[in-house]
């Protein structure tokens, strides 16, 4: 009798979990398309613009060519067909033309090889001399993750490789947030490159991922129990760290302690799968690229030549580290841009990037 009761309880738990997962995948959802103004794809740029960093002068650095080990056959074929290599692009918000420039990458400090480069998350820092420093997540083709440090050489439109960072805490890095010219936070969105374990993590809603801090000498975990930690950003005053708790469909706001530990201040539900976070340089509000219907995103990433996925951009109004309001600035069913990963508003323009699809620029007529 007891054994039967246990089996029935386990069966009910399993059925309940399956129903919850199906619900979270969004098979029942429908949204209405809307843009903040006229939108068009950026010309002369291949697919993929997973993350941005915009400096106060409007220069925006874009990562392209995101790929990790054990990708699907269809995605690998798509990348070959569209010549998707690891690239870095520059977009200038002060230029009225919707175009980007590919940056050349020079230097090989610490064994960095640009032919093995697959960039993902990015964060910038202005050093004391005014040089633009970039930290870029690299899923190197050989199967290890690194964070690469570059210096922008403006006269030559180059990125000079300066240093690479590697530690055993770098399991499957998603994003990085600089805190100086030699320190940063980063997020792991998995426990390794094994796709079966990563799928189990998502379907079982396991909170296995972490946020790590590097202080210039040592790496340490400063936040754990995350359901796929994704994008990460820092408030303009450096007091708060914002993290995409992807599978929990929420934004985590953490207070940054003097020793760089993180104390969770707020977990704000957004009911969409948020990706990268960009902080408005003037207002401290947040712009977030999101994936509102998860099963469509999963199909798109598995076979991007056949399937499309919707794109969504949110604006979160912030005050003293608290979310005080939310607005949906953009929604597209996947025809204009599929799988939005990041977005920013600057100079009355909305720039939207995607995981492995187009990059879109919109004139921005929605009140800020």
Sequence-ordered list of residues with C-beta below 8 angstroms from that of 37, at least 6 positions apart, any chain: 350, 362, 363, 364, 365, 366
CA 265 to CA 241: how far, in whole Å?
Answer: 10
H or E element that contains 298: helix 294-302
Query: Would you say 174 is a known binding-site residue?
Result: yes
122 annotated binding-site participant: yes
Measuring CA to CA, how many Å separate 269 from each of 39, 56, 94, 108, 274?
A: 29, 30, 35, 42, 10
- Tell me whether residue 94 is annotated as binding: no
Taking a C-beta distance cutoff of 8 angstroms, is the pair 164, 218 a contact?
no
Catalytic residues: 120
Q: What is the rounded radius of gyration, in angstroms, for the C-alpha atoms of the chain?
A: 20
Please tell me whether 50 is known to bind a ligand: yes
272 Cβ partners below 8 Å, 6+ apart? Answer: 249, 290, 291, 292, 312, 314
- Tell me: is residue 92 an annotated ligand-binding position: no
Task: Tell whether residue 194 is among the known ligand binding residues.
Answer: no
- Does 357 appear as a known binding residue? no
Are the C-beta atoms of 161 and 108 separated by less than 8 Å?
yes
Binding residues for Ca(2+): 50-51, 122, 174-175, 230, 275-276
Binding residues: 50-51, 122, 174-175, 230, 275-276
């Amino acid at each position: 009798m007891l054994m039967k009761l246990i089996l029935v309880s386990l069966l009910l738990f399993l059925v309940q979990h399956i129903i919850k997962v199906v619900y979270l995948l969004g098979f029942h959802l429908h949204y209405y398309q809307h843009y903040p103004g006229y939108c068009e794809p950026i010309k002369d740029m291949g697919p993929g613009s997973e993350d941005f960093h915009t400096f106060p002068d409007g220069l925006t650095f874009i990562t392209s060519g995101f790929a990790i080990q054990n990708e699907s056959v269809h995605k690998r074929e798509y990348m070959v067909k569209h010549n998707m290599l690891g690239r870095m692009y520059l977009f200038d918000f002060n230029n009225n033309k919707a175009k980007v420039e590919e940056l050349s990458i020079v230097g090989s400090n610490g064994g960095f090889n640009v032919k093995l480069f697959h960039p993902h998350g990015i964060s910038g820092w202005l050093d004391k001399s005014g040089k633009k420093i970039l930290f870029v997540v690299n899923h190197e083709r050989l199967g290890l993750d690194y964070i690469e440090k570059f210096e922008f050489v403006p006269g030559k439109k180059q990125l000079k490789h300066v240093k690479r960072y590697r530690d055993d805490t770098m399991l499957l890095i998603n994003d990085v947030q600089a805190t100086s010219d030699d320190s940063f936070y980063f997020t792991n969105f998995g426990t390794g490159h094994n796709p079966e374990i990563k799928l189990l993590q998502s379907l079982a809603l396991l909170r296995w991922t972490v946020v790590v801090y590097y202080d210039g000498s040592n790496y340490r975990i400063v936040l754990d129990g995350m359901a796929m930690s994704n994008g990460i950003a820092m408030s303009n005053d450096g007091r708060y760290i914002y993290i995409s708790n992807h599978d929990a469909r929420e934004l985590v706001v953490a207070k940054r302690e003097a020793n760089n530990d993180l104390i969770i201040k707020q977990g704000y539900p957004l009911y969409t799968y948020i990706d990268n976070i960009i902080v408005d340089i003037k207002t401290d509000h947040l712009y977030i690229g999101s994936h509102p219907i998860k099963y469509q995103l999963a199909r798109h990433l598995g076979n991007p030549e056949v399937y499309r996925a919707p794109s969504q951009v949110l604006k979160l109004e912030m005050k003293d580290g608290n979310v005080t309001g939310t607005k949906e600035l953009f929604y597209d069913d996947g025809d204009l841009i599929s799988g939005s990963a990041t977005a920013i508003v600057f100079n009355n323009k909305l720039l939207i990037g995607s995981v492995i699809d187009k990059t879109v620029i919109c004139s921005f007529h929605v009140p800020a």
